[in-house]
Amino acid sequence: MSRVAIIPARGGSKRIPRKNIKAFCGKPMIAWSIEAAKASGCFDKIIVSTDDTEIAETAKRWGAQVPFMRPAELSDDYAGTIPVIRHAVQCLQEHEDPVDYACCIYATAPFVSAEDLRRGWQLLNSTAQDYAFSVTSYAFPIQRAIRITEQGSLAMFNPEHFMTRSQDLEEAWHDAGQFYWGTAAAWLAEKPLFAGGSVPVKLPRHRVQDIDTAEDWTRAEWLFKAIQSATEDE
């Protein structure tokens, strides 16, 4: 039973240039994902799917393999995660490198942990599902969300819940953007992640942070250092 980690890392990041290899708390951003994958003990192979030679060399220095370069048509702003992982699985299998399970780990997920990757594998392996991926809960009930109208006033998305107590509303969750375990068959068939074939790997909110802007980056470094400091004090 072959398990592979696939870290997608294209070179054309616009909002944060060279985001995947930019230094984050003393290491290239992608190094944190590679090291978590290695520490998990889950994988027979850790590969990086990239179109960028500098990213490829950085990945190799930190212990990943780059057995192929990603084609241009899967490296633009519109390339989705599922087609990218499908391509990687296909490339491996075409070179007689069997893959039974593949875990997509984002290159910009420094909060991903070896323990969570192991939990994800255990969940997928113990169920008949296609995927197991990281999620976290919304801090505020989404049923009471408000929007700003074209006239500049406020309106509820769900006004029927104006009088509903927060504790009576169903808790909502969202993709944590860290990792996605899946069967090779599911990736190759491009089965959707957000459907009935996935199980959740629940993460606490303080270990989830999108990093899309310079402000996100600064906040993530503060949070990362605080978590490291708290762990060292235990």
Claim: this prediction has a pTM higher than 0.75:
yes
Residues forming a β-bridge with 18: none
Burial class (CB in 10 A: 0-12, 13-18, 19+), 155: exposed
pLDDT by position in tens, the chain (length 234): 899 999 999 998 888 999 999 999 999 999 999 999 999 999 999 999 999 999 999 999 999 999 999 999 999 888 899 999 999 999 999 988 889 999 999 999 999 999 999 999 999 999 989 999 999 999 999 999 999 999 999 999 999 999 999 999 999 999 999 999 999 999 999 999 998 899 999 999 999 999 999 999 999 999 999 998 887 766
Dihedral sign (CA 184, 201, 65, 45): negative
- Beta-carbon neighbour count of residue 68 at 10 Å? 17
Residue 119, helix vs strand vs coil: helix
Report all structural domains of the chain as residue ranges with CATH numbers, in order of start: 3-135+174-233 (3.90.550.10)
